[in-house]
């Protein structure tokens, strides 16, 4: 069955994870990313006040933004993020409550992306019902590793994260990723602190261009 979040990821081939100590204007941040061609934005529990940030962006859902919550470690965090308007959940690995996180996400109609690295973890994530699997840290294994995973897992939607930038993003896509995760190369925390939205738009557009 088609998943709207994964459909957007396949179309754009990219999402952005934002790692910032604070985000004063999450709507302006997401608008800047959409202007640069990246509609799927992951705000994480490492940023204080995440649920309020999600709610602010979710209220602008008609603008084409697909907002989600990252670094989800518990079912309580999943529920809070979903209540605030998250349309997808991302974990950094396979937390103890991974099954409950998947259950909460699917009950709310959200996509769930579980983190993994080894083939055993990828298998565990798919067995738990993950809609996609985040391969993290991608910088540690490289595109060839992702290609190797495609052998036993040809139907699994793989999304590399961690160390993906303009120089290697297209290679990860050629290796079989449905999309790649951009991080500080697109959203530098300093740019967020200084509200340099035009710079973030430029970075996002450059990253999208590199995918081609």
User: Is-catalytic flag, 198?
Assistant: no
Active site residue 42: yes
Which residue among the candidates 134, 155, 171, 198 is catalytic per the annotation? 134
Is 52:84 a contact under the CB 8 Å cutoff? Answer: yes
* Distance of alpha carbon 78 from alpha carbon 100, whole angstroms: 9
Count of all residues that appear for the chain in the document: 212
For the record, the structure tokens of 151 come out as: 């052998």
Hey, what are 157's tokens? 């939607």
Rounded Cα distance, 195 and 24, in Å:
9
| Residue carrying structure tokens 């991608």 | 138
Closest CA to 32 of 57, 4, 7: 57
Give dist(CA 52, CA 68) in Å, integer: 12
Q: Match 């999309």 to its residue by tokens.
A: 179
What does DSSP assign to residue 116? E
- Report the DSSP beta bridge partners of residue 135: 116, 160
Catalytic residues, which ones? Answer: 42, 134
């Amino acid at each position: 069955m088609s998943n709207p979040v994964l459909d957007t990821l396949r179309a754009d081939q990219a999402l952005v994870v934002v790692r910032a100590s604070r985000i004063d204007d999450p709507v302006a941040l997401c608008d800047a990313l959409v202007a640069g061609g990246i509609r799927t934005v992951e705000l994480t529990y490492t940023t204080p006040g995440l649920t309020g940030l999600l709610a602010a962006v979710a209220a602008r859902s008609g603008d084409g933004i697909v907002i989600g919550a990252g670094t989800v470690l518990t079912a309580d965090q999943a529920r809070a993020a979903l209540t605030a308007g998250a349309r997808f959940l991302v974990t950094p690995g396979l937390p103890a409550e991974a099954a409950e996180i998947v259950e909460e996400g699917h009950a709310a109609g959200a996509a769930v992306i579980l983190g993994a690295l080894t083939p055993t973890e990828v298998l565990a994530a798919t067995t738990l019902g993950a809609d996609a699997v985040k391969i993290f840290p991608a910088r540690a294994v490289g595109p060839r590793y992702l290609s190797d995973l495609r052998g036993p897992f040809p139907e699994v939607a793989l999304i590399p994260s961690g160390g993906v930038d303009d120089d290697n993003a297209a290679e990860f896509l050629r290796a079989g990723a449905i999309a790649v995760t951009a991080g500080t190369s697109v959203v530098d925390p300093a740019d967020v602190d200084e509200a340099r939205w035009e710079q973030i738009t430029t970075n996002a557009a450059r990253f999208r261009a590199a995918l081609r």
